[in-house]
């Protein structure tokens, strides 16, 4: 950008993205752009939601030779009547407007995965062509789009019996938005089969016109049969029948099946929320892990099964487990529109409460199988103990004295240890109370740390704060030797406001420039504390940013009854959160959000280039140009 361009930065420079333009401008924010598969699953999930609600029992999926995909169901059919407020057919809002849908409240669907209101509108935006046929009220309607723009008004093309209802959508993904222009058929087949398993009585048919292959699934059984079929001839305990359970709670359903693998066999990990696969897990899986670990530890203590001085960690009881977990909850919250990870905090306690007592009873009623499971867990613990080193938590052996402000953990196993670098003395006190002292340590940092990007490694210790960090983690700057690392996870914990982001950036810069090996080996994380607390009646929610807040308020307004008032509290800093709040939202592995930072051959050049532009003393002119080009993206706070 030239100086002349910068000087002409005025009101006309501000771009306003309307309709579906935000999706086309930043498609990666709304879907997985590696292939069109996620678009297909968005449409399929809408049909599955109809089945979950009891209005559909058949879904037909067809992949055509031109790589278009058609999904048809016999549900209620999308609404075609005129929207009372917008004065257009409701189906036009569904396809043409972001955040328009029938799933923000529980009036239309008790359980669903499409709560963002962006699913099929994103499909429309990223497709070169989309056609929809809707059978409803005895008539067949059709509407058409091209590149997200309506080309064919909603109109009647035929008549059917009034009980003959449903929706059929065919779309042609636009290749320019995807790394791969064709569908991953094998992945789609496995997901369709899983959805049929998770929704007993639902028939799903898939036809691949490219290969002329046909598949049809309809299951009447439960998760244990699915897990057994998936495991095949592999050896596991309990056998031949996995430990499984089903529990219906108020507004929620939890189903699970678990086995432990023998002889180091590979494991299977599948989790679903309202039939949406969550390959990255989330709070529901964390709740299952906690329940299983707690029940096994109690069983071992009661029956005195553990060797002296041995304690089973979650990894010991879980690393050899194969499981399938399905939860159905109202209004799930996911980490992003791709829905790969559940972030609804209350789901951890929901699943843990459903599973732990039931598993405890099962263990004591099936002693032989329980003992076999314990043997596998103890073998895993022995292997961990033999392979791991120990850390003297009282002092840094052979080196400088540990920082006086460091509140260390008690475990001497560094593979379990977590160190939180906490912004501020006040927040450090709250974190010290909120932590699990067995494996979590806290080091409070006072104020903004030194910008070390242009500093030589020999000079960064001019800052006492940075020296404390180096001594606490047990590593010297620019060393490739991680043998002295005292914790497996180094977690940056700063306020969720702009000052906190600044401090977090400076800490990240320290590790990128002077401790890159630590990041390359996957030891650096950023904790994501909430910025807002939203209360509606007896419900309390924590949200990360303005977008999450607005999305939550929209859903609460849609479902609230009576005179319940929605109150929003903005946390000015971590110090404003009491220890239980900090524990629930930021430090408890079952409910926190922790983002791992990565530094690989693929992104290293880009990371260093961006950091250098933002932090190097000699790059002031480049920063000015960058701000002129991107400043409109900033949120201005009062």
Half-sphere exposure of 322 (CA within 13 A, CB side): 26
Per-residue pLDDT at 400: 60
Using alpha carbons, select from 100, 118, 126, 121 the residue that is nearest to residue 24. Answer: 126
- Which pLDDT does position 261 carry in this prediction? 92
Which architecture, in CATH terms, is 418-529+595-632? 3-Layer(aba) Sandwich (3.40)
Percentage of residues in the chain having pLDDT higher than 90: 37
Whether the predicted pLDDT of 329 surpasses 80: yes
Q: Which of the residues 57, 147, 497, 612 is marked catalytic?
A: 497
481 is catalytic: no
Q: Which of 116-120, 142-146, 574-578 has the highest mean pLDDT?
A: 142-146
Confidence of residue 105 (pLDDT cuts 50, 70, 90): very low
Task: Label residue 574 by pLDDT band (50, 70, 90).
Answer: confident
Task: Please state the rounded mean pLDDT for residues 570-592.
Answer: 86
Distance of CA 536 to the CA centre of its chain: 24
Q: Is 223-387 a CATH 3.40.190.10 domain?
A: no
Average pLDDT on 87-112 reads: 64
423 is catalytic: yes
User: What's this model's pTM, rounded to 2 decimal places?
Assistant: 0.65
Residue 45 is among the residues annotated as catalytic for this protein: no
pLDDT tens for each residue of 283-308: 999 999 999 999 999 999 999 998 88
Q: Per the residue annotation, which of 49, 60, 255, 423 is the catalytic one?
A: 423
Query: Dihedral (C-alpha) 188, 196, 340, 79: value to the nearest 10 degrees?
Result: 90
Per-residue confidence (pLDDT) for residue 229, from 0 to 100: 84
| Tally: H helices and E strands in the chain | 19, 22
What CATH number does domain 21-217 carry, 3.90.25.10, 3.30.565.10, 3.40.50.300, 3.90.1150.10?
A: 3.30.565.10
State residue 338's pLDDT score: 60
pLDDT (tens digit, 9 = 90+) per residue, 332-386? 888 765 677 888 888 888 899 999 999 999 999 999 999 999 999 999 888 877 7
Q: Decide which of 450 and 17 is more confident.
A: 450
Is the model's pLDDT at 636 over the cut of 70?
Answer: no
pLDDT tens digits for range 541-571? 888 888 888 878 887 877 766 677 889 988 8
Mean pLDDT, rounded, for 73-79: 93
Amino acid 479: pLDDT:
85
3-state secondary structure 14-55: CCCCCCCHHHHHCHHHCCCCCCCHHHHHHHHHHHHHHHHCCC
**Angular region, 478: left φ>0, alpha ψ -120 to 50, beta rest:** left
CB 278 within 8 A of CB 327: no
Q: Rounded to whole angstroms, how far apart are CA atoms 490 and 509?
A: 14
- Domain ranges within the chain, ordered by starting residue: 21-217, 223-387, 418-529+595-632
Q: Taking all residues of the chain, what is their mean pLDDT, rounded to a whole number? A: 84
Choose, from 133, 222, 418, 495, the residue flagged as catalytic. 495
Catalytic (active site) residue 8 = no
More confident residue, 136 or 389: 136
Spatial distance between the Cα atoms of 2 and 533, rounded to a whole number of angstroms: 43
Of residues 319, 476, 478, 499, which has the active-site annotation?
A: 499
């Amino acid at each position: 950008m030239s100086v002349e361009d910068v000087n002409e930065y005025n009101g006309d420079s501000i771009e306003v993205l309307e309709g579906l333009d935000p999706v086309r401008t930043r498609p990666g924010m709304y879907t997985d752009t590696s292939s069109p598969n996620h678009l297909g699953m968005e449409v399929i999930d809408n049909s599955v939601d109809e089945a979950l609600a009891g209005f559909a029992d058949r879904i037909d999926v067809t992949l055509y030779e031109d790589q278009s995909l058609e999904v048809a169901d016999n549900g209620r059919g999308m609404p075609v009547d005129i929207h009372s407020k917008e004065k257009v057919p409701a189906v036009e809002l569904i396809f043409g407007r972001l955040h328009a849908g029938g799933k923000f409240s529980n009036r239309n669907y008790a359980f669903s995965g499409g709560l963002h209101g962006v699913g099929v509108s994103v499909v429309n935006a990223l497709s070169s062509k989309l056609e929809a046929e809707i059978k409803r009220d005895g008539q067949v309607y059709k509407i058409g789009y091209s590149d997200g723009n309506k080309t064919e008004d909603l109109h009647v093309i035929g008549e059917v019996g009034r009980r003959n209802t449903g929706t059929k959508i065919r779309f042609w993904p636009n290749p320019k938005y995807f790394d791969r222009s064709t569908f991953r058929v094998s992945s789609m087949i496995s997901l369709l089969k899983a959805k049929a398993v998770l929704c007993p009585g639902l028939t799903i048919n898939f036809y691949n016109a490219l290969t002329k292959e046909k598949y049809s699934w309809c299951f009447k059984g439960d998760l244990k049969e699915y897990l057994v079929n998936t495991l095949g001839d592999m050896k596991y305990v309990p056998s031949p029948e996995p430990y499984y359970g089903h529990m219906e709670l108020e507004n929620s359903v939890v189903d699970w099946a678990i086995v432990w693998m023998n002889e180091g066999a590979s494991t299977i990990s599948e989790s679903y929320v309202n039939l949406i696969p969550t390959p990255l897990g989330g709070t529901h899986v964390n709740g299952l892990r906690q329940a299983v670990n707690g029940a096994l530890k109690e069983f071992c203590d009661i029956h005195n099964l553990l060797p002296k001085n041995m304690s089973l960690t979650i990894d010991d009881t879980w690393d050899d487990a194969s499981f399938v977990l399905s939860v159905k909850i109202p209004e799930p919250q996911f980490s992003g529109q791709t829905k790969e990870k559940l972030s609804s905090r209350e789901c951890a306690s929901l699943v843990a409460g459903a599973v732990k007592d039931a598993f405890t009873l099962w263990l004591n009623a099936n002693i032989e199988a329980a003992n076999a499971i314990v043997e596998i867990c103890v073998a895993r613990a022995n292997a961990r103990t033999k392979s791991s080193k120990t850390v003297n938590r009282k002092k840094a052996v052979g080196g400088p004295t540990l920082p006086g402000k460091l509140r260390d953990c008690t475990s001497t196993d560094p593979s379990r240890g977590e160190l939180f670098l906490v912004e501020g003395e006040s927040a450090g006190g709250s974190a010290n109370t909120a932590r699990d002292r067995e494996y979590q340590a806290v080091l409070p940092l006072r104020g903004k740390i030194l910008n070390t990007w242009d500093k030589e490694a020999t000079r960064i210790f001019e800052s006492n704060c940075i020296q404390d960090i180096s001594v606490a983690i047990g590593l010297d700057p620019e060393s490739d030797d991680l043998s002295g690392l005292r914790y497996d996870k180094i977690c940056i914990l700063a306020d969720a406001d702009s000052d906190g982001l600044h401090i977090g950036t400076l800490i990240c810069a320290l590790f990128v420039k002077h401790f890159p090996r630590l990041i390359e080996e996957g030891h650096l994380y950023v904790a994501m504390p909430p910025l807002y607390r939203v209360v509606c009646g007896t419900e309390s929610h924590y949200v990360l940013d303005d977008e999450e807040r607005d999305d939550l308020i929209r859903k609460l307004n849609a479902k609230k009854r009576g005179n319940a008032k929605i109150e929003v509290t903005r946390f000015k800093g971590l110090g404003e959160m009491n220890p239980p709040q900090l524990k629930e939202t930021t430090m408890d592995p079952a409910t926190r959000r922790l983002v791992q930072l990565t530094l690989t051959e693929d992104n290293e050049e880009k990371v260093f280039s961006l950091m250098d532009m933002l932090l190097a003393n000699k790059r002031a002119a480049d920063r000015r140009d960058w701000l002129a080009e991107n400043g409109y993206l900033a949120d201005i706070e009062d």
